[in-house]
Amino acid sequence: MNDKTDMERQATAAPAIELKGISKAFGPVQANKDISIRVMPGTIHGIIGENGAGKSTLMSILYGFYKADKGEIFISGEKTDIPDSQAAIAAGIGMVFQHFKLVENFTVLENIILGAEDGRLLKPSLAKARKSLLKLADDYGLKVDPDALIQDIGVGMQQRVEILKALYRQADILILDEPTGVLTPAEADQLFRILGRLRSEGKTIILITHKLREIMDITDTVSVMRRGEMTATVKTTETSPAELAELMVGRKVLLRVDKAPAQPRDVVLDIHGLRVVDEKGVERLRGIDLQVRAGEILGVAGVAGNGQSELLEVLGGYQTGTGSVQVKGQALDLTGKQSDGQSRRNHGIAHVPEDRQREGLIMDYHAWENTAFGYHKDPSYRSGILMNNAAIKADTVEKMERFDVRPPNPKLAAKNFSGGNQQKIVLAREIERNPDLLLIGQPTRGVDIGAIEFIHQQIVALRDQGKAILLVSVELEEILALSDRVAVMFDGQIMGVRDAADTDEKELGLMMAGITDADAKIGG
Amino acid sequence: MDYMTLIQLLDSTVRLATPLLLACLAGLFSERAGIFDIGLDGKMLAAAFFSAAIAALYGNVWLGLLAGIAASLALSLLHGLASITFRGNQLISGVAINFLAAGLTVLIAQDWFQQGGRTPSLIGGARFNPITLPFADAVEPVPFIGPLYAELISGHSILVYAAFAAVPLTWWLLYRTRFGLRLRAVGENPAAVDTAGVSVIGLRYAAVCICGVLCGIAGAYLSTALQAGFIKDMSAGRGYIALAALIFAKWRPWYALWATLLFGLFGALETRPDVIEALIGVKVQGQLLGALPYVMTVIILAGFVGKAIPPRAGGEPYVKER
């Protein structure tokens, strides 16, 4: 990198993107408030903020999905109106969405030309795209098989297709929304290498993320958003993760979880040869052996879709399986009548499901109703054959206070709470029943940093009370911060179990990619 | 069964398959774009009535055809309005169209013609008449090939040839043109089309309109070519059989041809119980054959003969997400 020419270029060139005073409201919610930002050409500009801080709204305005209520957009110094995606593409903006916008049963090539065809017939378009694809592959190190179907290639490859789609449309500005959420650490590194290469070719990149590490690793400049406002824009080299976190949340945040060493006792959960075959006949768990002791947190790491969900589902009683699972020496029924949530709870298992909005809560129901779910037969919630609603509400108010749920209003529908507060409602319901074993999936997915801290503290406190905790998370940082031992899942199997103190992201990352125990040892 | 009987059977197969084929291709366009259309039957019925009525009034079958297409198109646009613009439930909208057509056609027919909900019988230029292909008379005496050409291939109305020509045309449009690529994409993942800067709504309306035109031709064929006039409920569930054929064909144009020919053969056999009796030695109820398309569709849906995967975004209104 030649810093001097970069500096010169930045000093003379107009910003690739400049937003001036962008505001956008959805009803009473002010999603973006008077946002101004300058993104210089040939740089990687990070935008970081909690969920709901307004990052996605801002980018949707830039990509023509929403029209700003107020404010102006300048592309390379020229005032530009972006009423729709077509205008955004014409202005040289390409967007890689968090959820890919690809047609699954089309080939890579067909996806790339879709909407950017030359002329009415496909043949010449496809031929031309094939040629430029080869050139792009050479220029940026983005190799793909143009004739592969999207449904047959991995997520890392699919993301590459999205980037190629933007480049094929001559995008000079690339916006990536949470691009590493679905990638293994190795794939993420590869993505960052590609982004670095794109930057060196003069492309401008906006990286939206909530992961501080990514911001520190790859960006040149970072803007922080909080509650719809741009609170700061700083040079990455002149800031620190702690400072960014504070800017995001508005107060000091503990990035590490303070916890004493675990004091594991008896085995609570004992799994042997657990297998699950899904409705399509695909074996999702292929012989799992795991043990979790009282007073320890076992973290299950892995890229989403490698069987972690099925593991939680079968333990939670809503997926059938074969093999043996014992809780405190008692075998669980994995297929029959006793294989349901109620009997799992009778075994002392509490479950905070991965998808809290679909499995943990009924979004249209009030908080107090949600608090009683699964425990509605509890004597304290009943009077005769009726439910004692007053008692449930009173209990909910107490729980909301202890778990700092905001707003502390039991009559608010679950959907009206933020992600973090929804999670607290589920957590309060499950933890406060004093379970022997807590199953918890993606505890902080879509949860803001402030609430993450609180939720992590609750999980550790439960461990210190001598409970067994099975934690499933796709966030490796979270796994490493919370777990006492880490099991890595790949393709329905446990690749290995490590003491959290003796391992690192690199080793776990290799195991997550399916590189076996022994290989990882040699490699690490 | 002698050769001439076979030719006759195949000849009526072709005639009965034609409306199914047109309706099936109509449904194919709509469903490939992600709009389920259970209202094929209603659209055919409306088109059958209006083409027969206008043809009877003006004595010109081409005017009738245009009127039929217009009627079907109007119902298609209604379906589009409900399911694309207002993001309503596509099944409910389709069912409503079927009821609307069933009621309105008879009502208007009675008001216009006072013949108990039918149109007058069509004669001469008010009907699509068979076309004799060149040399048909000349080659007829040639053994084997002669009857095949003169009876089976020649002697159909122009709409039959149009329907069969529509198959390669549909294939070409879907798989060889920009429009086709976008149309297929919008039925699989409209978000991909939208973010590529192409209008999802525009594409879906285009698909629904093509569906309307094809259904219109199918309906006009029923009352002005297959029959000579409109009678109450004359579509007789053909729209549903076309939907069954569409599933059977796995939403592909060439398969649609074979599926509708097969279902057309069942229809032809239904009218010739003597042929079946001669073939298998058992007397089979005609109704049983009429039910066969549905039975076969259930078998297909149950996944016994390969898998029929419908367009992934089918039936769901597109709502832009952030």
CA A199 to CA A194: how far, in whole Å?
Answer: 9
Whether the predicted pLDDT of B308 surpasses 80: no
pLDDT score of A344 = 92
Report the gap between the CA of B193 and the closest CA in chain A (Å). 7
Whether the predicted pLDDT of B322 surpasses 50: no
Percentage of chain B modeled with pLDDT above 70? 97
In B, minimum Cα distance to A85 occurs at B197
Using left for φ > 0, alpha for ψ between -120 and 50, and beta otherwise, residue A231 falls in: alpha
Report the gap between the CA of B131 and the closest CA in chain A (Å). 34
For residue A106, the chain B residues in CB contact (below 8 A) are 184-185, 188
Q: Is the dihedral of CA A209, A210, A214, A219 positive or negative?
A: positive
Domain ranges for chain B: 3-128+143-301
For residue A119, the chain B residues in CB contact (below 8 A) are 178
Query: Please, what is the angle between helix A155-168 and helix A122-140, to 10°?
Result: 110
pLDDT score of A154 = 84
pLDDT tens per residue, range B45-97:
999 999 999 999 999 999 999 999 999 999 999 999 999 999 999 999 999 99
For residue B319, the chain A residues in CB contact (below 8 A) are none
Is A65 in the B-facing interface, judged by CB distances under 8 Å?
yes
Is A61 in the B-facing interface, judged by CB distances under 8 Å?
no
Nearest CB to A105 within list B179, B180, B188: B188
Residue B312 to residue A104, Cβ atoms within 8 A: yes
| H helix or E strand, kind and range, residue A216 | helix A212-218
Three-state SS sequence of chain B? CCHHHHHHHHHHHHHHHHHHHHHHHHHHHHHHCCCCCCCHHHHHHHHHHHHHHHHHHHCCHHHHHHHHHHHHHHHHHHHHHHHHHCCCCHHHHHHHHHHHHHHHHHHHHHHHHCCCCCCCCCCHHHCCCCECCCCHHHHCCCCCHHHHHHHHHCCECHHHHHHHHHHHHHHHHHHHEHHHHHHHHHHHCHHHHHHCCCCHHHHHHHHHHHHHHHHHHHHHHHHHHHCCCCCCCCCCCHHHHHHHHHHHCCCCHHHHHHHHHHHHHHHHHHCCHHHHHHHHCCCCCHHHHHHHHHHHHHHHHCCCCCCCCCCCCCCCCCCCCC
- pTM beyond 0.90: no
Taking a C-beta distance cutoff of 8 angstroms, is the pair A335, A364 a contact? no
For range B237-260, the mean pLDDT: 93
More confident residue, B304 or A37: A37
* ipTM of predicted assembly, 2 dp: 0.90
pLDDT tens per residue, range B124-150:
889 999 998 888 888 888 888 888 888
For residue A91, the chain B residues in CB contact (below 8 A) are none
For residue A104, the chain B residues in CB contact (below 8 A) are 188-189, 312
Nearest CB to A120 within list B177, B195, B320: B177
**Topology classification of domain B3-128+143-301:** ABC transporter involved in vitamin B12 uptake, BtuC (1.10.3470)
For range B220-226, the mean pLDDT: 96
CA A291 to CA A273: how far, in whole Å?
Answer: 12
CA B76 to CA B216: how far, in whole Å?
Answer: 10
CA A211 to CA A199: how far, in whole Å?
Answer: 20
Using left for φ > 0, alpha for ψ between -120 and 50, and beta otherwise, residue A178 falls in: left
Report the gap between the CA of A323 and the closest CA in chain B (Å). 30
| A236 closest CA partner among A213, A204, A205 | A213
For residue A65, the chain B residues in CB contact (below 8 A) are 320, 322
| A316 closest CA partner among A369, A276, A368, A352 | A352
Write out residues in chain A with pLDDT < 70, as ranges. Answer: 1-12, 253-255, 516-524
Taking a C-beta distance cutoff of 8 angstroms, is the pair A440, A470 a contact? yes
pLDDT score of B287 = 80
Is A60 in the B-facing interface, judged by CB distances under 8 Å?
yes
Nearest CB to B192 within list A114, A116, A119: A114
The owner of tokens 């824009």 is A233
* DSSP characters over A360-386: I--TTSBHHHHHHTT-TTSGGGEETTE
Residue B176 to residue A115, Cβ atoms within 8 A: no
Nearest CB to A65 within list B175, B179, B322: B322
Cross-strand bridge partners of residue A331? A326
Domains of chain A as residue ranges with CATH: 1-92+210-249 (3.40.50.300), 267-360+436-523 (3.40.50.300)
Cross-strand bridge partners of residue A183? none
